[in-house]
Amino acid sequence: MKTLSFDISMWTCPHCRRRFKKPQQRHSCGLVSQAQKPGDIAPEIKQLAQFLINKLKRRVPARAEANPTGSILIARSPFAEVRLLHRSINLAFVLNKNISSDRFERVQRISPRQQVFHLKIRYPEQIDRELLDWLETAYHLKT
């Protein structure tokens, strides 16, 4: 039986050590921890972001890379962004199907088959099974 092997070469940024599929990939190169976010973000919002990431990591082995505005959630490539605001989180994730929900503030078509879904999270109760299912699906699209 013949074994197939794939060379998935990844470029690593020499400054922030993030890995990318494309050499010299444009990106924001900020190295900060969740505790080092701008001072005007409420502590409960930082905790809410960590709660979201922890709940998701119980379902999928996603990586969360902190940046100056929040975190990028990564499978093999990024599948969601958690952006910290003063009193809420902006969450954006990519799916290849239509979803109709009042929870979305905006839906942006980025290709014939992919859309970016944007929503605000203010309370832990908003991090429910439905949201985690969407994020899990987004994760699997990037693995």
Asked if residue 12 is part of any domain, the answer here is no
Kindly indicate the confidence band of residue 84, based on its pLDDT and cuts at 50, 70 and 90: very high
Of 33 and 110, which is predicted with more confidence?
A: 110
Is residue 66 a part of any domain in this protein? yes
Q: What residues have CB less than 8 Å from 22, skipping those under 6 apart? A: 11
> pLDDT over 90 for what percent of the chain?
67
This prediction's pTM: 0.75
Cross-strand bridge partners of residue 118: 92, 106
Q: Which tokens belong to 36?
A: 């080092």
Query: Does some domain include residue 88?
Result: yes
Write out the residue range of the structural domain in which residue 83 sits. 29-141
The answer as to whether 6 is a domain residue is no
Q: Which two tokens stand for residue 89?
A: 């989180």
Residues contacting residue 52 through CB under 8 Å, at least 6 positions apart:
82, 89, 91, 121, 127
Lowest mean pLDDT among 4-13, 53-62, 100-109: 4-13
Asked, for residue 124, whether it belongs to a domain, the answer is: yes
In a domain, 130, yes or no: yes
pLDDT class of 22 with cuts at 50, 70, 90: confident
Domain count, the chain: 1
User: Do the domain assignments include residue 17?
Assistant: no
Domain-embedded: residue 22: no
